[in-house]
Structure formats: structure tokens, C-alpha cells
Structure 1
Amino acid sequence: MPAPQLSLKARALRYLSMREHSRLELGRKLSRYAEEGEDVAALLDFLEKNNWLSQERFSESLIHRRSARFGNSRIVAELQSHGVNGEALQELKAGLADSETARACEVWQRKFGTVATDPAERNKQMRFLLQRGFSQKAVRTALQGAPEDDDD
């Protein structure tokens, strides 16, 4: 016996129970299953009104998941691709900027751990951090080595 067909609302709640979604992302997922006469936008408005769908929670969740591995520019680009714009994006950028250098040092320490001795290795380390979305200032600081090593 086949499983019963889920309603659009049940499907949305199922997605949201797994993890936070942006309005744009959830709308895209639900539009595949919307039948004629069903209004995805009205359902998304209902979910936001009941605080089951929240752009702020989604943004915080994405930043929490990505900040240990990626730099500001990569995280901001991903937020923009999910439809986070305007003042909310500016506030999130400001919050990320405070910790970027420390995060770059941590990522560098986990991946490499030792200061590069030759230019080829230094370029490799620099490319790695830049591809992860860290700023050049954070990369230069990280490539100088972990601050904990200076105390020894």
C-alpha cells in the first residue's frame, strides 16, 4: 500500500522540522509539489505569521554552520543567494567581521599548522584561505602563524 500523499503544509512542516530554511528555498522546494489551486506564497506567509519560518533564525543557523570553515565573503554570498538582503544582511556582515581573523587562524591551524618556508607552500596556503572566502587581511594574519606559538 503506497504512503498517503502529504499536503503542502505537512510537507513544509516536515522540511522545517529537519532544519531552518529561507523563504526562497522553502518556496522552491514546495513549488514542485504544489497542485493547481494551492498557493505556496500564502502558505509561506502563514508559516511566517506563526513564526515557524523565520529569516533571522535561518540566517543565524547558516552562519553557525558555516563560520567554522568559511570566511565572510563566502557566507555573505550564500546568504544573498537565499534571499537575505538589506539591513539584515548589513547587521550580519558587521557581526561576522569581528571574528574573521580568528576564524581564519583556526582554519589555517587545522589544515596546515606550520608557517610556510618556501613561496610555493605559502601561495598554496594563501589560495586555500582565499577560496574559503576570507579577506586578504585575515589571510595575511593567519599565515604569520598562530598567536599561541609566540608565547613559547
Structure 2
Amino acid sequence: MDKKNGGSLSGIAAELASSLRDILRAEVRLARAEVTDITGQLSKHVLQAALFGAVAALGILPILAFAVIGLGRLLQENYWLSALIVGVGFMAVGGGLALSAYRKVLHEDLSFPHTRRGLQQQVAVTEKKLDEVAQTTKGRVA
């Protein structure tokens, strides 16, 4: 191999190495940004669920007592039965709301779409450069 060919190959290799370093740095920055964004979204939902749960707990106690006593009187002083009915009813409503919140969390996109797309683009560029190096090498060998 002469200096001209070796120089151009080493230049391409250096450019490729520099490109890969830049790609990795950019993708790490993008992944960090996406993790921060996703964490913020999840934190928001968790905080909302906790806050709404606390507010509901404060308001539910007097209503629960009222419902148990009122239903107990309607059921001929069977307060145990009224407590059971009211408890099951509130558990059903609370469980439904909890399930709804859980499904919202499951539907969040946690797959780092920007990072994945960027990596796919950079892999395509890197493959193109490697093909150029292979073609250059084949042309010089032949």
C-alpha cells in the first residue's frame, strides 16, 4: 500500500472513529433527556394519584359512616350487613379507579423513541461509511 492509499484509509478510519464517538455522546445525552422526561411524566401521575387518594380519604370517612348507619337502619338494625355492603361498594369503585390509573401508566411510551430513531439513523450512516471503506479497499486490492 502506498502512502496516499494508506493516508486516505487512515483518514476514513479516523473520521469513522470520530463519528462513532460523537454518535455515542449524542445518544447518551438524548437517552438522559428521555429518562428525565419519562421520569417526570411518571412522577406526575404518581403524585396525582397520591394527592387525589388523600383528598378522597379525608372526605370518605364521614360519608362512609353515614352510609353504614343509614343502610343499617334500613336493614332493620343490621349494621354488620350495611358495613359489608358499603365496604364492598367502595372497594369496587376504588379498585376501578386504581385500575384506570394503572392502565394510564402502562400506556406511557417508555421505549426511548427518539434515542432508538437516532441510533437507527446513525447505524445506517456508519454502515454506509463501512461500505465505502470496503469498496475503497476492494478497488485498491484488485
Structure number with the higher helix fraction is 2
| TM-score over 0.5 (shorter chain) | no
User: Normalising by structure 2, what TM-score?
Assistant: 0.28
User: Normalising by structure 1, what TM-score?
Assistant: 0.27
Rg larger for: 2
* Higher relative contact order structure (alpha carbons within 8 Å, sequence separation ≥ 6): 2
